[in-house]
């Protein structure tokens, strides 16, 4: 293999070359680093470089996992890794390197992935665009003026630009699916508790948030889920069992599915024409593949759920900042934070525990409504976003009033938070690009615990309408 | 026809008689009701009677479940059942009958259980004795001066007195195991997420509180879990799936287990001699069955555990009271809430969400610590309580001062709250009675998700040292 072809392969493909000894892990890593060095000044996707550490790993005994020797990047939220800081784009968090790998990071490494850095995020992953005072904006490889989405924006940019075939991401309101949508990638948010937060946490944002990756191929996502899923003793609760390997599962077609699709936002407001087009196209593609497709939406009460969601996020943020303050001995100061973060922190501190439980109650009630919906439908298809990727600078992140700061964001991200609320799995697929050449994703939502159906469907759609060779010019 | 041997059967035994048409469901239910009517004035175990409905059910077409024709009672907490109120032992809750069954209750009905009514609980199930202002004290069938424990006291009392062989119970800090210990019963607290609390809520007390039953036989507990445990889509999370039917599982002996035993308080100071005797006896019994037993206590900081635990309970109480206010328009006060409840409510109201989340995170850490402990030990054996059953009236439930109220209780309830924090299963077994003739239980704690090992061990112990013949003289 000439290294020029690096980006013609997905992670499984690269690992296959390593297994056949056509290329060495260190050669792959050097190529990835060369690409990072060439592209990162434009993209600002990578915010911490761990090149030397990664080179040591690549030269040593590489774990013989399914991703043996594949270069990888970790998001600057979670995926705590020895020798790397995790700052969540927050100036208040010291740039101290961690002294341990969390279980997820260990499992990535055991699968053969070689992490060589941390990727850009918005502060605490709060917003669907990757723009922070600490790191500056990540730029969309499809058009550098546009946002990568967030919060896993740096990871999505690095994958879309061909620096790595897949990268760690996590999702507490859409943060895997949104950047996957903006950057033309596969982004699966797994079921609540499918991936452990051990040993540092039992749950994150009350079970709203979960980790996985963004990738270019469905099989990479399936294989990485096989590699990292599963509880460890001491986890507070679990997801339903998987029912077998996802990587093997996607080799078989899904059964004939009943697919519901939404052509409007949950509050009845119209979608942007590009998003509507993306949904209709995806619905037609499903129908062409023999699935039963009809228009329907679950009766999720957004008006109730958004304040509940904000109460949970606000109090989690208050808890996080207070914990950091306790550890560093520094008092939080508005100057250390983005305005939007500070406003949510202040609001979060005022949330009473009783209000918190009420919010959680609403959230759990929504889970039952969704479960009822899925007695009829196997899958729910919607736009991932309410509009195509916005330009950088579109949102006022200095605004401290949460009502003002979040309203435009919610309008932009009208669907994805619902699956964090219900705990269901959901996947963004890159099935549409608009006239301006920007990716416009759709998301498929599955039953609680049923990533398998989503991945099988995704693999069938990928085969029917492949996207792998569709690359931004910057990646050429 | 009178069915005098009724009390000799466990639930499965009765169901088998019914299935074999040796007795009619009508006779079984009539006998249970006769016993309830005779004994309840002494015991105050049943606080809502649905006897007519039960008689009708027994005379109608019963579902062909594994418990067909067996009478049962539901605790006055959760377990909503059509036509029955659920007041959680509080004057503050309305006595409105439910218009739907809780999912678990629907499953019990579908299994053929016939619901006779609701059983006594302390207010909101907060304390380890069943003496609410709303209903008055429930009395221990082994000695009616004594407490039945709590909070599933009325259920335990009914089973121990032979009114029903099985009764619903819930456990958020020991409330299945404690009354089982006080009344000489089998009481399994299941793993977090094992039994659904739908459709009305997703979880209770952050998943600390779970539903199951108190029974006289291990197999009844196993079968009730087979009935209750299927996953309910819409639940916010799940327990690890069982490796198969529990009822089938207990037919096989457990493998040779590594059992850690604690014969003191968690801080190493001596525990009441009766409890030490009970646990030592149980340890010896395990050893005689071939298990490896050694003295070992996990490093639980009980003081900080209780502090965080009370935060979770306080907030749960505040949210519960707020919900009742929302539905009824009633204003909570010391007139309609007991002192200790009021104190918790006030503490809960003053707690911020961030403090609540910290408490939860700290308690989850205990889960990780216990998971490490169970890398070495399959089972942890402890006394269930720090003392034998106390007399009714021992605890001051009128004080609004948390320290004064809960202080004396923490020596009594010294082992059971940990498993609610960690989500592990734990079972009380009646393997010891003290000189005064009161039951003194021991608890076996298993790995999270592993009820199977506990039930297998329990069945083995039940066979080795049967307790079925032991009845209170009433």
Structure-block tokens of residue A300: 């999720």
E strand spans, A76-227: 113-119, 139-140, 143-147, 166-171, 186-189, 210-215
pLDDT of residue B301: 86
Q: How far is B389 from chain A (nearest CA, A)?
A: 31
DSSP B194: S
Pick from B68, B58, B15: which is nearest to B34 by CA? B58
Task: Answer for the pair B312, A360: CB distance below 8 angstroms, yes or no.
Answer: no
pLDDT of residue B287: 98
pLDDT in tens, B171-201: 999 999 999 999 999 999 999 999 999 999 9
Phi, psi for residue B349 in degrees, rounded to 5: -65, -30
pLDDT of residue A2: 60
pLDDT of residue B304: 86
Q: Cβ–Cβ of A365/B354 closer than 8 Å?
A: no
- Domain-by-domain residue ranges, chain B? 6-464
Residue of B nearest to A369 (CA): B234
Q: Cβ–Cβ of A319/B358 closer than 8 Å?
A: yes
Q: Cβ–Cβ of B231/A240 closer than 8 Å?
A: yes
Helix and strand numbers (H, E) in chain B are 15, 11
Among A239, A348, A363, whose Cβ lies nearest the Cβ of B354?
A348
Q: Cβ–Cβ of B318/A354 closer than 8 Å?
A: yes
Q: How far is A57 from chain B (nearest CA, A)?
A: 29
Provide the annotated active-site residues of B: 75, 151, 175
- Does B17 score more than 70 pLDDT? yes
pLDDT of residue B57: 96
CATH code, residues B6-464: 3.90.1300.10
Q: Cβ–Cβ of B202/A323 closer than 8 Å?
A: no
pLDDT of residue A3: 78
Q: How far is B362 from chain A (nearest CA, A)?
A: 9
Name the strand (E) or helix (H) holding B304: helix B302-328
Q: Which residues pair with B233 in a beta bridge?
A: B235
**pLDDT tens digits for chain A (476 residues)?**
567 899 999 999 999 999 999 999 999 999 999 999 999 999 999 999 999 999 999 999 878 899 999 999 999 999 999 999 999 999 999 999 999 999 999 999 999 999 999 999 999 999 999 999 999 999 999 999 999 999 999 999 999 999 999 999 999 999 999 999 999 999 999 999 999 999 999 999 999 999 999 999 999 999 999 999 999 999 999 999 988 999 999 999 999 999 999 999 999 999 999 999 999 999 999 999 999 999 999 999 988 999 999 999 999 999 999 999 999 999 999 999 999 999 999 999 999 999 999 999 999 999 999 999 999 999 999 999 999 999 999 999 999 999 999 999 999 999 999 999 999 999 999 999 999 999 999 999 999 999 999 999 999 999 999 999 999 999 87
**Average pLDDT rounded to a whole number, residues B395-423:** 94
Contact list in B for residue A368 (CB cut-off 8 A) is: 198-199, 202, 234
- Does B1 score more than 80 pLDDT? no
Pick from A306, A312, A251, A198: which is nearest to B368 by CA? A198
* ipTM for the predicted complex: 0.92
Provide the annotated active-site residues of A: 75, 151, 175
pLDDT of residue B302: 82
Q: How far is A372 from chain B (nearest CA, A)?
A: 8
pLDDT of residue B297: 97
Q: Cβ–Cβ of B234/A231 closer than 8 Å?
A: no
pLDDT in tens, B151-168: 999 999 999 999 999 999
Which of A233, A332, A349, A446 to mutate to probe the B interface, most B CBs <10 Å?
A233
**Cα dihedral B199→B200→B206→B208 (10° resolution):** -70
- Does B2 score more than 90 pLDDT? no
Size of the A and B interface in Cβ pairs below 8 Å: 154
Q: Which residues pair with B261 in a beta bridge?
A: B295, B381
pLDDT in tens, B72-131: 999 999 999 999 999 999 999 999 999 999 999 999 999 999 999 999 999 999 999 999
- Does B371 score more than 80 pLDDT? yes
Pick from A222, A229, A282, A153: which is nearest to A10 by CA? A222
pLDDT of residue B51: 98
């Amino acid at each position: 293999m000439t290294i020029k072809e690096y980006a013609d392969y997905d992670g499984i493909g690269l690992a296959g070359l390593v297994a056949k000894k056509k290329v060495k892990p260190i050669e792959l890593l050097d190529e990835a680093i060369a690409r990072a060095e060439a592209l990162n000044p434009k993209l600002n996707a990578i915010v911490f470089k761990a090149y030397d550490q990664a080179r040591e790993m690549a030269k040593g005994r590489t774990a013989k996992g399914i991703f043996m020797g594949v270069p990888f990047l970790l998001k600057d939220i979670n995926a705590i890794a020895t020798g790397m800081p995790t700052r969540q784009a927050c100036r208040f968090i010291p740039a101290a390197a961690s002294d341990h790998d969390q279980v997820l990071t260990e499992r990535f490494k055991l699968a053969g992935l070689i992490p060589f850095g941390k990727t850009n995020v918005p502060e605490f992953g709060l917003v669907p665009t990757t723009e922070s005072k600490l790191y500056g904006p990540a730029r969309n490889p499809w058009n550098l003026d546009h946002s990568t989405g967030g919060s896993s924006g740096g990871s999505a940019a690095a994958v879309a630009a061909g620096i790595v075939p897949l990268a760690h991401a996590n999702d507490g309101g859409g943060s895997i699916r949104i950047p996957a949508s903006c950057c033309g990638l596969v982004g699966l948010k797994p079921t609540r508790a499918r991936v452990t937060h051990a040993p540092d946490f039992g749950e994150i944002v009350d079970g709203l948030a979960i980790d996985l990756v963004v990738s270019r191929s469905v099989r990479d996502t399936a294989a990485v889920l096989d590699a990292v899923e599963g509880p460890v003793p001491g986890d507070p609760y679990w997801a339903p069992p998987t029912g077998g390997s996802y990587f093997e599962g996607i080799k078989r077609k899904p059964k004939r599915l009943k697919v519901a699709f939404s052509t409007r936002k949950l509050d009845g407001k119209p979608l942007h024409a590009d998003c509507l087009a993306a949904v209709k196209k995806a619905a037609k593609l499903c129908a062409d593949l023999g699935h039963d497709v009809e228009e329907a939406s679950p009766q999720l009460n957004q008006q109730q759920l958004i304040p509940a969601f904000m109460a949970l996020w606000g109090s989690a943020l208050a808890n996080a900042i207070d914990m950091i303050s306790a550890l560093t001995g520094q008092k939080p100061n508005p100057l250390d934070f983005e305005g939007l973060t500070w406003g949510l922190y202040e609001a979060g501190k005022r949330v009473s525990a009783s209000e918190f439980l009420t919010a959680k109650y609403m959230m759990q009630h929504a889970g039952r409504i969704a479960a009822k919906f899925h007695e009829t439908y196997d899958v729910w298809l919607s736009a991932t976003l309410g509009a195509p990727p916005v330009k950088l600078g579109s949102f006022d992140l200095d605004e401290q009033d949460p009502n003002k700061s979040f309203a435009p964001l919610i309008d932009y991200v009208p669907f994805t938070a619902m699956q964090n609320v219900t705990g269901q799995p959901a996947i963004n697929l890159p099935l549409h690009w608009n006239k301006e050449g920007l990716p416009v994703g759709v998301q498929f939502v599955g039953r609680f615990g049923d990533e398998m159906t989503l991945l099988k469907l995704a693999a069938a759609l990928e085969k029917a309408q492949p996207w792998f060779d569709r690359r931004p010019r910057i990646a050429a | 026809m009178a069915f005098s041997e009724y009390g000799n059967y466990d639930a499965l035994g009765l169901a088998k008689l019914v299935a074999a048409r040796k007795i009619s469901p009508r006779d079984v239910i009539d006998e249970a009701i006769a016993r309830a009517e005779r004994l309840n004035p002494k015991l105050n175990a049943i606080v809502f009677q649905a006897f007519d409905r039960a008689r009708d059910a027994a005379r109608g077409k019963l579902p062909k479940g594994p418990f067909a024709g067996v009478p049962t009672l539901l605790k006055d907490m959760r377990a909503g059942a059509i036509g029955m109120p659920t007041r959680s032992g509080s004057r503050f809750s309305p006595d409105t009958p439910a218009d739907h069954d809780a999912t678990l209750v629907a499953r019990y009905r579908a299994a053929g259980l016939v619901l006779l009514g609701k059983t006594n609980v302390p207010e909101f199930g907060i304390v380890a004795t069943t003496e609410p202002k709303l209903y008055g004290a429930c009395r221990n069938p082994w000695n009616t001066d004594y407490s039945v424990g709590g909070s599933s006291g009325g259920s335990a009392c009914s089973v121990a007195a032979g009114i029903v062989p099985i009764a619903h119970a819930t456990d958020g800090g020991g409330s299945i195991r404690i009354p089982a210990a006080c009344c000489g019963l089998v009481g399994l607290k299941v793993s977090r997420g094992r039994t659904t609390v739908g459709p009305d809520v997703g979880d209770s007390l952050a998943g600390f509180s779970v539903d199951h039953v108190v029974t006289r036989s291990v197999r009844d507990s196993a079968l009730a879990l087979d009935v209750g445990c299927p996953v309910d889509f819409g639940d916010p999370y799940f327990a690890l799936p069982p490796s198969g039917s529990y009822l089938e599982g207990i037919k096989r002996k457990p493998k040779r287990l590594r059992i850690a035993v604690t014969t003191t308080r968690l801080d190493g100071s001596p525990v009441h001699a009766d409890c030490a005797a009970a646990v030592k006896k149980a340890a010896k019994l395990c050893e005689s069955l071939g298990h490896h037993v050694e003295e070992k206590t996990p490093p639980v900081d009980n003081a900080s555990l209780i502090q965080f635990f009370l935060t979770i309970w306080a907030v749960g109480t505040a949210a519960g009271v707020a919900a009742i206010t929302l539905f009824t328009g009633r204003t909570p006060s010391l007139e309609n809430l007991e002192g200790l409840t009021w104190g918790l409510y006030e503490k809960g109201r003053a707690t911020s969400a961030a403090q609540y989340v910290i408490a939860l995170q700290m308690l989850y850490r205990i889960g990780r610590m216990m998971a490490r402990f169970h890398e070495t030990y399959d089972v942890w054996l402890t006394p269930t309580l720090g003392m034998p059953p106390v007399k009714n009236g021992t605890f001051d439930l009128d004080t609004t001062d948390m320290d004064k109220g809960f202080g004396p209780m923490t020596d009594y309830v010294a082992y059971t709250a940990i498993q609610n924090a960690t989500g592990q299963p734990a079972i009380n077994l009646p393997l010891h009675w003290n000189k005064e003739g009161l039951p003194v239980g021991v608890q076996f704690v298993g790995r999270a998700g592993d009820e199977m090992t506990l039930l297998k061990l329990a069945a083995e112990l039940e066979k080795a040292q049967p307790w079925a013949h032991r009845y209170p003289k009433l």
